[in-house]
Amino acid sequence: MSSESPSFLYSIAFFVAFAIPEALNILLPAFGDAVTQRRVKVERAYPPLLLPVIVTGVTVEKVTSSISPINRDRSELPKAITHEPPQKPQIPIHFPAIIDDLDPMAKEPVRVLVTGAAGQIGYALVPMIARGIMLGADQPVILHMLDIPPAAEALNGVKMELIDAAFPLLKGVVATTDAVEGCTGVNVAVMVGGFPRKEGMERKDVMTKNVSIYKSQATALEKHAAPNCKVLVVANPANTNALILKEFAPSIPEKNITCLTRLDHNRALGQISERLSVPVSDVKNVIIWGNHSSSQYPDVNHAKVQTSAGEKPVRELVKNDEYLNGEFITTVQQRGAAIIKARKLSSALSAASSACDHIRDWVLGTPEGTFVSMGVYSDGSYDVPAGLIYSFPVTCRNGEWSIVQGLPIDEMSRKKMDLTAEELKEEKDLAYSCLS
Ligand code: NAX
């Protein structure tokens, strides 16, 4: 074999790339982990080099993007390579870190539907999704935007702006007024479109309009969305719209239909952060119980703050139960109205951001030891009537939420939780009366 021949050069390359690190891998376990990670990158970049690796007895579990982009939990991410027999525990490799510098767009795009996309929340939400705030900075998306015919021109304007923004993760935009086209193949549906209450309208009239919208969109989603599509209802009355959607899309698992109370949850975190002058990221585990309305119960009894001396209960740090049981609760309950008063428009950027938080945590999981609030189908936990869409504390893992169990509930909380459940029962009855 001449020193210029390709096979000679190939052998040298193989020796430097694998044989030396492999020897060190056996001798120095810590170095071995770094080698393993590096090798994954090399293999993805230069598949022909796999052959000599296999010849030397190394088993390759190829890193692929075949994990369903939705329902993927960080803990499920593949361990990229294992030696046979395994000599030492393998360190799970963070998937995005591996593909980042080689092929950041390797994943299949996820289709995300936003209804009411020409409205003000839609306008704030779609760029967040296209930037990766909802599903991650390495997750390509195709946006489906649905609105009604009178908003078609404005919707097209939003589409033009999305194109002009040249978002690298955005692989396509469907802008339509046809519910079937809008719902076809979607993996995530964020239902923002709805009929707002106008001056002089009875509650029942608004409910009738929204029931009919959610009934027909439920049917379109059930027939045309991707299997296991995750649904988040934002439009008000959010809990009851979600319930109607669930009723008219019986083949969509009830676990996949939720409503947004994360905005209220984030508002509660924000109030505690302001009160204690601590970063909002240091506050966790507030709870919104019940309806996304002024009857909701923002509860700090289980909330904690990260301090230099470890985690401390919010009540211990605030040292003012009168505030926490009074002004704090009404401020969170009335925050939407305060925004309207100040802006002459309802919350949009905070609603859009909270919708991203809701889906992100649902799909990618909540951090260890942290719970968040989601409007979900009640199974009777905490003696909340089963069959309502009620906001509970939840944790998320493997693309599924679970209600946090076993939190002690004091007498004041019980009353407030029952009150908001009562309102939801009335809304449910009203919605059903609109159907008949
Ligand atoms: P906008 O009035 O700005 O936008 C609503 C959009 O929905 C409009 O473009 C309208 O044409 C469209 N629409 C109406 N009927 C539709 C249908 N059948 N199919 C598709 N699109 C339809 O309202 P915006 O400020 O964006 O608020 C949207 C909804 O979010 C409202 O119902 C609002 O009450 C609700 N909110 C819910 C929050 C929550 O935390 N759950 C907080 C923010 C917000 O108040």
pLDDT tens per residue across span 353-392? 999 999 999 999 999 999 999 999 999 999 999 999 999 9
What is the 401 CA–ligand 1 centroid distance (Å)? 25
Q: Report which protein residue has its CA nearest ligand 1's atom 34.
A: 236
Buried b / exposed e along 348-377 (16+ C-beta atoms within 10 A): bebbbbbbbbbbbbbbbbbeeeebbbbbbb
What was the pLDDT predicted at 103? 52
Determine whether 292 is an active site residue: yes
What was the pLDDT predicted at 198? 77
> Does 140 sit in the ligand 1 pocket, CB within 6 Å?
no
Q: Report which protein residue has its CA nearest ligand 1's atom 10.
A: 116
Q: Report the alpha-carbon distance of residue 407 to residue 417 in Å, rounded.
A: 13
Q: Report the alpha-carbon distance of residue 366 to residue 394 in Å, rounded.
A: 9
Q: pLDDT digit string (tens) for 152-185?
A: 999 999 999 999 999 999 999 999 999 999 999 9
Of the residues 144, 147, 153, 207, which should be mutated to test ligand 1's pocket, given the most ligand atoms within 8 Å of the CB?
Answer: 147
Q: Which helix (H) or strand (E) holds 153?
A: helix 152-165
Number of neighbours of residue 183 by Cβ within 10 angstroms? 26
Atom of ligand 1 nearest to the CA of 117: 9
What is the 165 CA–ligand 1 centroid distance (Å)? 24
Q: Report the alpha-carbon distance of residue 433 to residue 427 in Å, rounded.
A: 10
Structure tokens at 255: 């676990």
What was the pLDDT predicted at 15? 54
> Does 192 sit in the ligand 1 pocket, CB within 6 Å?
yes
> Does 147 sit in the ligand 1 pocket, CB within 6 Å?
yes
What was the pLDDT predicted at 435? 84
Compute the radius of gyration of the chain from its Cα atoms: 25
Q: What pTM, to 2 d.p., does this model score?
A: 0.79
Atom of ligand 1 nearest to the CA of 150: 11
Query: Tokens 């009366």 — which residue?
Result: 433
What was the pLDDT predicted at 205? 87
> Does 242 sit in the ligand 1 pocket, CB within 6 Å?
no
Catalytic residue among 144, 292, 302, 358: 292
What was the pLDDT predicted at 106? 74
What is the 172 CA–ligand 1 centroid distance (Å)? 23
> Does 151 sit in the ligand 1 pocket, CB within 6 Å?
yes
Q: Report the alpha-carbon distance of residue 397 to residue 287 in Å, rounded.
A: 18
For 51, residues 6+ apart whose C-beta sits below 8 A from its C-beta are none
Asked if omega into 85 is within 30° of 0 (cis), the reply is yes
What was the pLDDT predicted at 94? 30
What was the pLDDT predicted at 196? 82
- Cβ-based burial of 93 (10 A; exposed 0-12, middle 13-18, buried ≥19): middle
Q: Give pLDDT < 70 ranges for the chain.
A: 1-105
Residue 117 near residue 155 (C-beta atoms within 8 A): yes
Residue 193 near residue 115 (C-beta atoms within 8 A): yes
Query: Tokens 């089963």 — which residue?
Result: 386
